[in-house]
Amino acid sequence: MIFSKPIFTSLSPNTEKDDIILAFKLIFQPWKWKKGDSIQKLEKEFRSYLGVNNVFVFNSGRSALLAILDSLGIVEGDEVLLQGFTCNAAINPILKSGAKPVFVDIDDTLNLDPNDLKKKITSNSKAVMIQHSFGWPAQIDEIVKIVKENNLFLIEDCAHALGSRYKEKLCGTFGDTAFFSFGRDKILSSVFGGLAVTNNHELGKKIVVFRERIKYPCNSWILQQLLHPLLTNYIVMPAYALSAVLGRLVLGFLHILSILSKAVYKKEKRGKSVKQFPKQFPNALAVLALNQFEKLERFNKHRREIAAFYQKGIKKDNFILPLDKEKIIVDPVFMRYPVLTDLDTDEILKKARKRKIFLDDGWRKSPVVPIDTCLEKMNYKLGSCPRAEKISQSIINLPTHINISQKDAKKVINLVNEYTRDKR
Ligand SMILES: Cc1ncc(COP(=O)(O)O)c(C=O)c1O
C-alpha cells in the first residue's frame, strides 16, 4: 500500500511516456532548442484547428497577452475588465501595460457575470477579457452584446479552454483576439508556452512587430523546462508515493536549486515584471507542444468522460457541482471538475493527502490565485466580487487529465462522498 500510485492534479499531469522520452532526447540536442521548424508547424496546426488566420506562439500565455494588449494599443489610464477568481498571470500583463484591471464578479458557472460587467464599465474601459473557467464557456452572446454596445475590445482567455465549444464554435474564435496556454497543468502542456490568435490582420501585423522585438529565453531556462516531465515523473512523484513529506522536500529542493521551474514566479505575486516574460517560444518546447497537440482529441474525450464519472458519482447532497448543468449550447472540455462545499476544504485536502491524493491545484482560497498573491498589488479590493470570494473559499478542483483512470476517479469520489453536510 505504501507504494500505491499517487493521484495528482498538478506537476506534469498530461505527460505520457512518449512526451517524457521526447523531452529527454531534446536535452541532448541543444541545437534544436531555440530556432527550428516546429514553431511554424505548431502555428500552422492551430490556424487549421481553430480556423483563424493569425496564430503567434510565445513562451507563455502571459507573454501572448502582453503582445495582445500592446497591439490593441492599451495604455496607462485604460481599464481592462476581467473576472474575479482568476490567476495573477492573467493580471500582470494588464498591470505591465499600464492599464488598470477592473474585477467583475462571476456567475454560477464560475465565469464573468454579464450583469456585473454592465455595472463596472466606465468611460475609461477599453477591453473585456473572458476566461472560460476550467473549460466551461462564458455567456458569450450576452457579453459580446455588451462589448459591442460599449465599443470595447473582447479578449478571450482560453488558458483553460482549448477545444471547448459554444454553439458548436470553438472558444477563442469569438473575440477580437484570444490567447491559449500550454502551461504544465493546462489542456496541453509543454511546461511553459502559449499563443495569441486573431482574425484581424492589422492586429496580427502589430503582434508580429511586438514579437520581433523580444528575444528567445536563455538556454538554462529551456533546459529547466525540458527536465520537468522527466524529474516530476521519475523523481518527484515516486518521492510522493513514499511519503507526502518526502515528496514536498524533494520538490522544494529542486525548486531551490532552480532545477525545476515554478508556474508563477515569486515577484509576479507582487505584481512585478520578471525577465522570463515576454519571450519567444523556443523550438524545443514547440516540439513537445506539437506532440501533445496530436493527442488533443483523445485527451479532451478522456477529460469529458472523467467529468461525467464525477458528475454521476458525487453525492449532490454533500457537494454543489457548479458545472453539473445541461450542455445544450456549450461543449466544455473540463480542464478540471470543480465541486463546492461549505465544509472545511483544508481538512478534506489534508485527508486526501493521507491517501496520496493531491488535490490542491492552486485555484482556491483567494479571488486571485495562487493564494499568496498580494491582492492590493493586483488592484483587487476585497468585497468587490463577493461571489468570486465565496467560491474561492469553498472550491475543490478534481483532476480530469489523461493519467487519471476511472479507478483513480473512483478513489476521489469515495473520498469526497465520505463527507456529509452534518459532519462539521
Ligand atoms: C486563467 C488563466 N489565464 C492566463 C494564464 C497564463 O498562462 P501562462 O501560465 O501560460 O502564462 C493562466 C495560467 O497560468 C490561467 O490559468
How many A from CA of 315 to the centre of ligand 1? 31
- Return the ligand 1 atom nearest residue 181 CA: 10
Sign of CA dihedral 71, 373, 194, 26: positive
How do residues 82-140 score in pLDDT, each as one tens digit?
A: 999 999 999 999 999 999 999 999 999 999 999 999 999 999 999 999 999 999 999 99
As a whole number of Å, the end-to-end CA separation of the chain is: 29
Cα 313 to chain centroid, rounded: 26
Whether the per-residue pLDDT at 267 is higher than 70: the answer is: yes
Whether the per-residue pLDDT at 378 is higher than 50: the answer is: yes
Whether the per-residue pLDDT at 342 is higher than 70: the answer is: yes
Mean pLDDT score of the chain, rounded to an integer? 96
Atom 14 of ligand 1: nearest residue by CA position: 89
How many A from CA of 90 to the centre of ligand 1? 6
The whole-angstrom separation of Cα 403 and Cα 240 is 16
Atom 8 of ligand 1: nearest residue by CA position: 61
Q: How confident is the model at residue 422 (pLDDT cuts 50, 70, 90)?
A: low
Whether the per-residue pLDDT at 23 is higher than 90: the answer is: yes
**Res 1: pLDDT:** 41
pTM over 0.95: yes
Work out the average pLDDT over 279-287: 98
The whole-angstrom separation of Cα 195 and Cα 158 is 10
Whether the per-residue pLDDT at 151 is higher than 90: the answer is: yes
**Res 419: pLDDT:** 83
How many A from CA of 141 to the centre of ligand 1? 24
The whole-angstrom separation of Cα 333 and Cα 230 is 26
131 close to ligand 1 (CB < 6 Angstrom): yes
Work out the average pLDDT over 339-353: 94
Atom 10 of ligand 1: nearest residue by CA position: 61
How do residues 381-404 score in pLDDT, each as one tens digit?
A: 999 999 999 999 999 999 999 999
CA distances to 133, 184, 281 from 368, rounded to whole Å, are 13, 19, 26
How many A from CA of 28 to the centre of ligand 1? 29
Q: How confident is the model at residue 13 (pLDDT cuts 50, 70, 90)?
A: confident
Backbone angles phi, psi at 13, to 5 degrees: -65, -30
- Return the ligand 1 atom nearest residue 192 CA: 10
Whether the per-residue pLDDT at 279 is higher than 70: the answer is: yes
Q: How confident is the model at residue 423 (pLDDT cuts 50, 70, 90)?
A: low
How many A from CA of 182 to the centre of ligand 1? 9
How do residues 195-241 score in pLDDT, each as one tens digit?
A: 999 999 999 999 999 999 999 999 999 999 999 999 999 999 999 99
How many A from CA of 271 to the centre of ligand 1? 15
Whether the per-residue pLDDT at 76 is higher than 50: the answer is: yes
Domains annotated on the chain, with CATH: 29-213 (3.40.640.10), 296-417 (3.90.1150.10)
Work out the average pLDDT over 236-257: 95
86 close to ligand 1 (CB < 6 Angstrom): yes
Query: Exposed, middle or buried, 144 (CB in 10 Å: 0-12/13-18/19+)?
Result: middle
Instruction: Count the residues in the chain.
Output: 424
**Res 3: pLDDT:** 58
